[in-house]
Amino acid sequence: MIFMNIFTSPVMAKPMYIDARSSIAIDSKSRCVLYEKNSDMLIPIASTTKIMTTLVALKYGNLDKKIEISSKAANIHGSQVKYKKGEIITLRELLYGLMLRSGNDAAIAIAEGMCESVDEFLKLMNEYAEEIGAINTHFESPHGLDSQYHYSTAYDLALITAKAKENKLFNKIVSVKDVDAKEYGFSRSYHNINKILYQIPAANGVKTGYTGNAGKCLVTSINMGEDDVIIVVLNCNKRWNETKKIYDYVKDNYEFKKVIKKGQIVEKYKYDEDKEVNLVCDQDIIIPFKKGESYETKIIKPKNIKHDLKKNDNLAKVSIYKNGEMIFSKGLKCEKDVQMNASSKFKNILEKILKSKEK
């Protein structure tokens, strides 16, 4: 076991009021919640919807596919890149138009170009959102213009963003300030309208949004050294200032520590009387520790194994608790194949037979 308890020096955090209807800050990798206000409230999310549109396009689309701009895409209201009907644009370029210029025309073109209809694309959006764990989210468009059953929560939107940030191209798109048409081979140049990239030096994305019902919205990613923090503010008139306020709160109250290194032997598991296998983690585990809080780590292992295991199969897990509540859990893998001897296998079979007879 790496450690059992961590105690940080007591620090009294100043009370903070955030002028937003709903907001949250999470660590992008561990998904630990660092701050929240009404983060499970169902709420319109405007053009922050386009984070999910991009995620679906990156998962299912061919980035080099050439898409013809339809009349429906060219004439959509709200923010536009101003693509013209009949223009041929690659999916890759449309993603830049979608995220840098918040183009509703790009959103429709992507949906139509990837699927037979916008409705078919929406099925992918809603199915993938549920797969990610965004279970309080429903999409009725790929752009986020106001409609009755188009909503999410700050928490779900943070989860979706965290998933999107696992993709290198997504990070490249949302962090760039200017794109030169000649350099990228695009039809036009793009300037990123997301002001947070210019106001916080460590910011590296993600997306603005505004509609009458949703108000001003902002999803931000900020590098904190070891990791990125995702901040969501919804229906927030002072979205730039309130995002900075949450960022300062996280900086002042959290320390990011690497608890386990990728490939590090976390524990040894004994099996078959005199045999053992090393348990390792397949990624760095970096956890935000809040000053003044106590943390505990537990390694949870089975009492015995019932069958052979292959290298990299999960055999145990490491869980981290904050004030008695689990905030993170990750599987630990076998460093090598585990082959049980014949007598152990026979013993397990016999135990199964006896248990079945008892029933």
What is the Rg, in whole angstroms, of the alpha carbon atoms belonging to the chain?
Answer: 24
Distances (CA, A) of 296 to 3, 105, 316: 8, 50, 17
- The CA distance from 88 to 256, in Å, is 46
Catalytic residue among 50, 163, 290, 322: 50
At 205 the three-state DSSP class reads strand
- Tell me, yes or no, if 84 is annotated catalytic: no
30, 47, 79, 141: the active-site residue: 47
What percentage of the chain's residues is helix, strand, coil (to nearest 5)? 30, 30, 40
Place of tokens 């990798």: 29
DSSP state string for 11-47: --PPP----SSEEEEEETTT--EEEEESTT--B--GG
Tokens of 342: 């014949």
CA angle 124-24-99, nearest 5°?
A: 45
Instruction: Tell me 324's DSSP state.
Output: T
Is 352 tagged catalytic?
A: no
- Residues 132 and 158 sit within 8 Å (Cβ to Cβ): no
User: The tokens 């405007």 sit on which residue?
Assistant: 46
Contact 229, 221 (CB under 8 A): yes
Taking alpha carbons only, the member of 108, 113, 101 closest to residue 189 is: 101
DSSP state string for 90-105: EHHHHHHHHHHS--HH
Selecting among 30, 102, 141, 221, the annotated active-site residue is: 102
CA atoms of 160 and 175, how far apart (whole Å): 17
Classify residue 9 by its DSSP letter. Answer: P
**172 given a catalytic annotation:** no
Q: Distance between CA 88 and CA 293 in Å, rounded?
A: 55
Please identify every residue annotated as catalytic. Answer: 47, 50, 102
